[in-house]
Structure 1
Amino acid sequence: MILPACSQGILGTDAFPKHELYGLTSQARRAAFSVTLNIAEGSAKRGDGEFRRYLDIAIGSITELQVALRLARDRGYLSNHDWDVLERLRNHAGALTWLLYKAVSKRKRQEP
């Protein structure tokens, strides 16, 4: 569910104006890509501590995406409806990532 939500966040930038290509569009896309890429990279690392670190970065990127999409809405690049849809998806992806972070943290404490 995290990957589709972030993909939608990327697709939401398709309607941004050309003059934002290297500004808000690029920033929002990088934040969305960063979420899934950090989760994937962290899952391949050795040990839960490293995985948690990458999940923490992913959570930061989810928040960055939220702000970028809100700025886009406030500037009229996204309709309120599109922003609502993207925000629900982003919020769900954030909740799932946070649950994963908590599960990995708990697993760490249970190890001998």
Structure 2
Amino acid sequence: MSLSTEEILSAFGNGHITKEILISELIDLCIYNEPKEILARLSVDIVKDIKEKVKKPPSTCLKLIHLEGKNPRSHKSEKTVQLEEELQRIKGFAGIWRMHAHFYLSTQNEPRA
């Protein structure tokens, strides 16, 4: 399971992850939690960045690039690494679409904050 919103924000605040990774992690987190619950804990600037990132979601998970790659010190097989990367792309795809729906597919046809 993923880290909590607080753990992700703490890692960003302590300089352990970049803003880009922060945003990706928060988007992925919304497959386990309601987007509005995650967004309520964030600064306006981060919310704007997330909203921009999910504005035009990909048509398939194959359009997503997973950047972690294989750790050369890892004892995982190439197949295991490929499966883990595929799972990350699927989670990212689901998270992007869920957050996109929150912002752009409201019943009033108006973007939500």
Q: Same fold (TM over 0.5)?
A: no
Q: TM-score, normalised by structure 1?
A: 0.41
Q: TM-score, normalised by structure 2?
A: 0.41
Point out the structure with the larger helix share. 1
Structure with the greater relative contact order (CA < 8 A, sep ≥ 6): 1 or 2? 1
